[in-house]
Amino acid sequence: MNTFPGKVGLIQRVLPHYRKPFFDALGKACTGGLSIFSGSPRTVEGIKPVDELDHAQITQGKNLHIFRGRLYTCIQLGLMNWLKTCDPDILIVEANPRYLRTPFAIRWMRKRERPVIGWGLGAPPISGPLASLRSQSRKKFIQRFDTLITYSKTGASEYAHLEFPKERIFIAANAVTPPPTHPLPERPNPEEVHKAQVLFVGRLQERKKLDNLMTACSQLPEALQPNLVIVGDGPDRSRLAKIAEKIYPGTIFTGALYSENLAKQFRLADLFVLPGTGGLAIQQAMSYGLPVIAAQADGTQADLLREANGWQIPADDITALKNTLEKALTDKTALREMGAESYRIVSEEINVNQMVRVFIEALNQSQS
């Protein structure tokens, strides 16, 4: 893996635990050191933050969360003191104008003629009141960066639409796991599978739309109705259990599982389904050779899920979910082939190692 010789500063609103493999790998590739500033999430977010990293230094600030929804903004207290102490050669920040200390950090770096990289999902079109004014403000904000890193082709296209130079936009496909070290699991021959197993893994929240998944399963022809296994815990569990009793009583709730217990569920499954928002478990499912059905979300899944390994369906559309499940479960031989393609994608194309490679390329180009 290539390296970056300078000292890197990186600002995150929150440093989620699932990002630990990425930040450790990035820190290892930044031979001049990686220093990260982050704060705590809102209680309602249910995010488990990272306390320490093996190959990077974390400084904990204090996030002042203001308002909610579309009006949400965040002030990261202590950021400027950290920046002065860290004194990085290059800075990576989230390309989000809602974080009100970011412009101050950019200005500090500019005075020292040091580059700043923005890292974000993209910039989808703005509608509603004052859309034109808000779009101009966003464009002005984006233009302040030397380089942009985004998760997907969709995000890159949105940044280019704001007239940011295409040659300075990098796509680092969103990855949370390294390439799998285990082989592609061996599953029973399709003709031996009388009842397929459908798996969901994630935090149990209303936005995950698991009630839609149970409803869709109940609407399938009886011969195709799968064993449905839901792995995870969260505030929506009791409501979902009551729904399952009424419409799909065969649903199994395992609670939260980790390590080998979780790996066992991935190996037993035939298909992974994410009916709502989220998606961090998709790559883990793919690493165990599973095809995936996922609701369309922020565009990051478009590069991960393709016709060869899965399906993207409209969000909150039970009919589309039912029809796709029926198509998937009707041809179990095709499911095995799609699962093998999932394994290939996360082994060769989309994983933490490849994501770090793109970040290092962006760092080196920004300083050249």
H-assigned helices in the chain: 20-29, 79-86, 102-111, 131-142, 153-161, 210-218, 237-247, 259-268, 280-287, 318-330, 332-348, 352-367
- Of 145, 15, 44, 166, the C-alpha closest to 91 is 145
Residue 222 is given by DSSP the state G
Structure tokens at 137: 């403000």
Structure tokens at 28: 């290892």
Backbone angles phi, psi at 105, to 5 degrees: -65, -40
CATH superfamily of 8-178+351-367: Glycogen Phosphorylase B; (3.40.50.2000)
Tokens 């179990």 correspond to 332
- Domain 8-178+351-367 identical in fold to domain 190-348: yes
- Distance between CA 7 and CA 340 in Å, rounded? 40
Q: Chunked in runs of 10, what are the mean pLDDT values of the chain (368 residues)?
A: 92 93 96 97 84 95 92 95 97 96 97 97 86 90 97 93 96 91 93 92 92 98 97 94 96 94 97 87 94 81 87 94 97 96 96 96 93
Q: Do 301 and 312 touch, CB atoms closer than 8 A?
A: yes
Neighbour tally for 358: CB within 10 Å: 15
What's the pLDDT score for residue 164?
Answer: 97
Q: Do 304 and 296 touch, CB atoms closer than 8 A?
A: no
What's the pLDDT score for residue 130?
Answer: 83
Look at residue 234 and give its three-state secondary structure: coil
- Distance between CA 45 and CA 63 in Å, rounded? 13
What's the pLDDT score for residue 43?
Answer: 84
- Distance between CA 73 and CA 67 in Å, rounded? 7
| pLDDT tens-place string over residues 187-216 | 999 888 889 999 999 989 999 999 999 999
Dihedral, CA of residue 276, residue 281, residue 282 and residue 286, to nearest 10 = -150
- Distance between CA 195 and CA 192 in Å, rounded? 9
Q: Do 150 and 159 touch, CB atoms closer than 8 A?
A: yes
List, as one string, the DSSP characters of 79-116.
HHHHHHHH--SEEEEE--TTBTTHHHHHHHHHHTT--E
- Distance between CA 286 and CA 303 in Å, rounded? 13
> Phi/psi class of residue 150: alpha, beta or left (left: φ > 0; alpha: ψ in -120 to 50)?
beta
- Of 309, 315, 311, the C-alpha closest to 325 is 311
Q: Do 50 and 72 touch, CB atoms closer than 8 A?
A: no
Structure tokens at 155: 């995000």
Structure tokens at 282: 């998709």
Q: Do 80 and 108 touch, CB atoms closer than 8 A?
A: yes
Give pTM, 2 decimals: 0.86
> CATH for 190-348?
3.40.50.2000
Cα 34 to its chain centre, rounded Å, is 22
Backbone angles phi, psi at 195, to 5 degrees: -135, 110
Domain residue ranges of the chain, discontinuous segments joined by +: 8-178+351-367, 190-348
- Of 56, 78, 44, 49, the C-alpha closest to 9 is 56
